[in-house]
């Protein structure tokens, strides 16, 4: 059976985002309304105890472009993103956070630029990008310099997590080597895309603030895990 493609699939991995997910989806529907029925939004919920999935289903019961996927096994950010990408039908697939960290207003830009590239990355660290928390901005900026030197990447923001990719480019990537762990999946994706000579374009993104709920990222513990993974990748490269 031939897969019927939409123009754009937006994958929204989430956990305990009941208060943010509905306004986010409404904003995305508004931003991308010019696509009409050629848009799908996949809310990939890791069985949130706060009722995130139920809230989405109730709020968009009559909106065929919004689909809810509830995961009860092998949970985690990277696995959620993988399942969303595997079940998406878009020519272009876009992944973003569900806490308004990634502004919906950047989605039309990502979509249009992805018509001319294999992979489009939203970056805080090119002209026009940034984030309101200046301490975390500079710490992330310095850490990205370390990553670029260690891994040899040519991307300014290796931890963005905001990206759009063409279906044919995504299908060339080895999912098993990328989609596990937490945000470290993203720099593995970028590294492999670079090694495969994909056309990668960065666009500036100004991060927003979470309007409701609590952040799940613990800065120091997350970055210690990222450092271990960077060193593992460096060691593997030295063994090749």
Global pTM value: 0.93
Domain count of the fold of the chain = 1
Judge whether 230 lies within some domain.
yes
Judge whether 131 lies within some domain.
yes
Judge whether 115 lies within some domain.
yes
Judge whether 45 lies within some domain.
yes
Judge whether 151 lies within some domain.
yes
Q: Which helix (H) or strand (E) holds 120?
A: strand 119-123
| Apex 18 CA angle, 16 and 20, nearest 5 | 105
Average pLDDT on 233-239 reads: 87
Other Cβ atoms closer than 10 A to 30: 9
Average pLDDT on 211-220 reads: 66
CA atoms within 13 A on the CB side of 211: 11
Judge whether 1 lies within some domain.
no
Sequence-ordered list of residues with C-beta below 8 angstroms from that of 191, at least 6 positions apart, any chain: 151, 153, 233
Range of the domain at 59: 6-239
pLDDT per residue as tens digits for the range 133-168:
999 899 999 999 999 999 999 999 999 999 999 999
């Amino acid at each position: 059976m031939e897969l019927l493609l939409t123009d754009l699939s937006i994958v929204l991995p989430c956990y305990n985002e009941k208060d943010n997910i509905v306004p986010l989806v409404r904003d995305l529907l508004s931003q991308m309304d010019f696509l009409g029925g050629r848009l799908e939004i996949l809310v990939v919920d890791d069985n949130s105890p706060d009722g995130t999935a139920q809230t989405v289903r109730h709020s968009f019961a009559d909106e065929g472009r919004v689909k809810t996927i509830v995961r009860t096994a092998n949970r985690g950010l990277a696995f959620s993103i993988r399942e969303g990408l595997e079940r998406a039908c878009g020519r272009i697939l876009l992944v973003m956070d569900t806490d308004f960290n990634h502004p919906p207003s950047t989605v039309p830009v990502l979509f249009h630029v992805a018509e001319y590239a294999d992979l489009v990355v939203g970056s805080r660290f090119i002209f026009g990008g940034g984030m309101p928390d200046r301490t975390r901005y500079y710490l992330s900026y310095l850490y990205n310099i370390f990553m670029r030197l260690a891994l040899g990447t040519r991307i300014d923001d290796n931890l963005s997590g905001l990206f759009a990719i063409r279906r044919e480019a995504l299908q060339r990537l080895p999912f098993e080597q990328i989609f596990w762990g937490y945000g470290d999946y993203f720099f593995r994706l970028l590294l492999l895309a670079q090694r495969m000579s994909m056309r990668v374009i960065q666009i500036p993104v100004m991060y927003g603030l979470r309007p409701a709920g609590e952040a799940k990222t613990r800065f120091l513990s997350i970055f210690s895990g990222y450092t271990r993974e960077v060193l593992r990748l460096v060691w593997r490269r030295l063994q090749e």
